Amino acid sequence: MPTIFRKTAKGVHEIETREYRLPPRVRSALILIDGKRDGAALQALILQQADATLEWLLEQGFIGV
């Protein structure tokens, strides 16, 4: 079963406020996460270091599964 990522409350807060000042590439990836796309679809949209970016967002609590 494919992994579907969703924004956590922290992720939604970051989109609304930019409190954590994510780098533009990471912020763009966070914006793409909508709770509908699976990991493969996101990797096709995140052109640079997709795996590392998703892993970092997950570890930092901006996204969940």
Residues 6+ apart with CB under 8 A from 15: 7, 27, 30, 31
d(CA 22, CA 38): 22
pLDDT at 53 over 90: yes
φ and ψ at residue 6, rounded to 5 degrees: -140, 155
Is the pTM higher than 0.85? The answer reads yes
pLDDT at 2 over 90: no
Please report, for residues 20, 22, 35, 55, 57, the alpha-carbon distance to residue 45 in angstroms, rounded to integers and kept in the order given: 23, 18, 15, 15, 16
pLDDT at 52 over 80: yes
